[in-house]
Chains A and B, each alone.
Chain A
Amino acid sequence: MAKKNYAFYPGCSSQKGASASNFVTSIGMMCDKLDIQLNEIPDWNCCGASIGYGEGGELPRLALNARNLALAEKNLPGQDLVSGCPACWLSTRETAERLHQHSDLMAETNVALKEAGLSFKGGVKARHMVEVLIEDVGFAGMKAQVVKPLEGLKIAGYVGCQTNRPFGIAGESFENPMYLDKMIETVGAEAVSYDQKVTCCGGALAFSEPEKSQKQIRDIVESAYDNGAEMIVTPCQLCQANVEIYQSEINKKHGTKLAMPVMYYSQLMTVAYGGNSKQAGLDGNIIHSQKLRDIAAK
């Protein structure tokens, strides 16, 4: 089958040795199996993330994102820009849409881009990895590759904020999106229902407002426990990092015993597609899931 080509925008957290590096590892085999060819955008830059606003104004942030779009347009013509990181996707898509809607902003952005020797014509669509899976591959296509169904695994699908809002996945509701549950079922596991599916983990405020963010995280993890989940799965880098990393902090402060593995959907898929622990980036997790490791080792 012919490969589907995409201009890949990994984003800062997915760089080697960065907090979501195991995400990149895990999508390698998944993409292979699904005939997805990711072509990294040369010399891509940071999107500004959800905290860039404080110091950077509107136009500087638009310019940053437009630079990535322009690089994709120039070097990987005709390919949709795809990011695995919701924040990157959101910033890029918002930029593309805003520039499309406001010709004055488009003109001004191009003046700035010129300083970096680039120009953007507006011909690139920014998409999230999950959109590619659902819309271009489809649930049936994802299921077709499963060789080791993750039977007996109870998983809380944690969609979080930015994959879900303000854009979300087409056809899904903001309050109760179902696609992640469907993906969990596609790989043979059981999706538990719980009430924190789209709760905010505190996002970028995990650093600046630790108490408040950790309360969010605790609610999420506890609700997953209460509803019988053995694992949380998310499509979001920031969610993954926050929810996994801070459990030990919460335990220390509140005497709780939280130890809920938090995985990417891509790690599940890789294991279900027959990948080993390494291919699935399981060693990149701080809290391990023995069950998942066992299946991977089978």
Chain B
Amino acid sequence: MSNQNQQAVARYHNNFLREVEERVEDGDWVKMCMQCGVCAGSCPLGSAWEHTPQKIFMMIRAGKRDEVLKSDAMWMCTSCYNCIVRCPRKLPITHIMHGLANYAHRLDMAPKGQPTRVIAKLFWDNLVKTGRVNELKFSLAMYFKDGFVQGIKNAMAMQSAGLSLVKAKRLNPMEIIGGHKCKDSSGIKKMIARAREIEDRKKGFTS
């Protein structure tokens, strides 16, 4: 169990709903779900979800902490916002899914190597470095996320697409040695660090 996780367990004594309300983005909405199932029927990758948003809300209420946080369900969210606009109770479901994923990742309970989790981290790291996303570095990093050999395979698989993008001037191979960058990237780094620190304090994370 990660340190963060142990602390969370100690802090909430199995009151998972309260934990979610306090620590997950928009988590205080979970109790307002009326279990109609509209969200479950609205997810584009619906059948791939281990538990639909509707079920996740019920599981939180039933205190199923491990099952929720260890699930890869919320990592299936494509951010299509279908559920948000349809939920009769106006739950910000997309945000809650993002929030749960983020929280599970923080506690290191999210499934290891979950592709979206890996990519999300790569993306963020890429962005924090320069303030902007460098698509080539990002893509390359992505191809190698599963290790070197798999990376070559992945890159080969998408090679033709990549080449056509290069030809269409929509992927710049020169970026590997430079590319886009914010002038005040150090300011941005500091800003993000500060924001994170405030949030951690507010949500009771101790590092």
Which residues between 69 and 88 of chain B lie within 8 Å of chain A, taking CB atoms? 76, 78-82, 84-86
Within 8 A of A (CB), among B1-55: 25, 44-45, 48
Q: Taking CB as reference atom, which chain A residue is nearest B97?
A: A53
CB distance from A31 to the nearest CB of B (A): 21
Interface stretch of the complex, out of A43-51, A148-156, A184-192: A43-51
* Contact A54/B124 with A46-B131, A165-B82, A248-B160 known, Cβ cut-off 8 Å: yes
Q: Is the CB of A166 within 8 A of B131?
A: no
Say whether, besides A15-B180, A55-B125, A245-B165, A174 and B119 are in contact (CB < 8 Å). Answer: no
Bound form: Cα–Cα A283–B182 in Å: 28
Q: Which of B163-182 contact A (CB under 8 A)?
A: 164-165, 168-172, 174-175, 179-180, 182
Assuming the contacts A161-B79, A161-B82, asked whether A67 and B170 have C-beta atoms less than 8 A apart, the reply is no
The 8 Å CB contact of A208, one of B115, B133, B135, is: B115
Nearest A residue to B98, CB-CB: A53
Q: Which of A47-105 contact B (CB under 8 A)?
A: 48-60, 62-64, 67
Whole-angstrom distance between the alpha carbons of A15 and B39 in the complex?
Answer: 35
Could you tell me the dominant secondary structure of chain B's interface residues? helix
A99 to chain B minimum Cβ distance, whole angstroms, is 13
Inter-chain CA distance A142–B172, complex, in Å, is 33
A209 with B80: CB separation less than 8 A:
no
Given contacts A48-B127, A208-B115, contact A17 B25 (CB under 8 A): no
**Neighbouring B residues of A174 by C-beta, 8 Å:** 85-86
Instruction: Say yes or no for A261: interface residue by CB 8 A criterion.
Output: no
In angstroms, how far is the closest chain A Cβ from the Cβ of B128?
Answer: 8
* In contact, B135 and A13 (Cβ under 8 angstroms): yes
How far is it, in angstroms, between the C-alpha of A249 and the C-alpha of B161 when the chains are bound?
8
Check B132 against A113 for contact (C-beta < 8 Å): no
Interface check B105, CB cutoff 8 A: yes
- Chain A residues whose C-beta falls within 8 Å of the C-beta of B102 in the assembled complex: 53-58
Number of interface residues of B (CB under 8 A): 66
Task: Tell me how many residue pairs across A and B have CB atoms closer than 8 Å.
Answer: 219
Q: Is B187 an interface residue (CB 8 A)?
A: yes
Task: Please determine whether B120 and A52 come into contact, CB atoms closer than 8 angstroms.
Answer: yes
B145 to chain A, nearest CB (A): 9
Residue among A109, A212, A283 making CB contact with B45, cutoff 8 Å: A212
Neighbouring B residues of A295 by C-beta, 8 Å: none
CB distance from B183 to the nearest CB of A (A): 5
Q: Does A111 contact B (CB under 8 A)?
A: yes
Q: Is B99 an interface residue (CB 8 A)?
A: yes
Chain A's nearest CB lies how many Å from the CB of B161? Answer: 5
Pick the residue among A16, A116, A168 that contacts B188 (CB under 8 A): A116
- Tell which of A19, A62, A165, A283 has the most Cβ of chain B within 10 Å: A165
CB distance from B90 to the nearest CB of A (A): 10
The answer to whether B78 touches A200 (Cβ under 8 A) is yes
Instruction: Say yes or no: B78 contacts A205, CB within 8 Å.
Output: yes
Q: Is the CB of B81 within 8 A of A166?
A: yes
Q: Which B residues are within 8 Å of any A CB, using their own CB? A: 25, 44-45, 48, 76, 78-82, 84-86, 94, 98-99, 101-102, 105-106, 115-121, 123-125, 127, 131-133, 135, 142, 157-158, 160-161, 164-165, 168-172, 174-175, 179-180, 182-184, 187-188, 190-196, 198-199, 202
A-B contact pairs, 26 of them (CB 8 A): A13-B135, A17-B174, A17-B175, A43-B183, A43-B184, A45-B188, A51-B119, A54-B124, A55-B105, A55-B120, A56-B124, A60-B192, A60-B199, A63-B191, A63-B195, A108-B199, A115-B187, A115-B190, A116-B190, A162-B79, A166-B81, A204-B78, A204-B79, A205-B76, A216-B44, A248-B164
A-B interface, 5 closest residue pairs, ranked by CB to CB distance from nearest? A54-B120, A17-B172, A208-B115, A116-B187, A165-B81
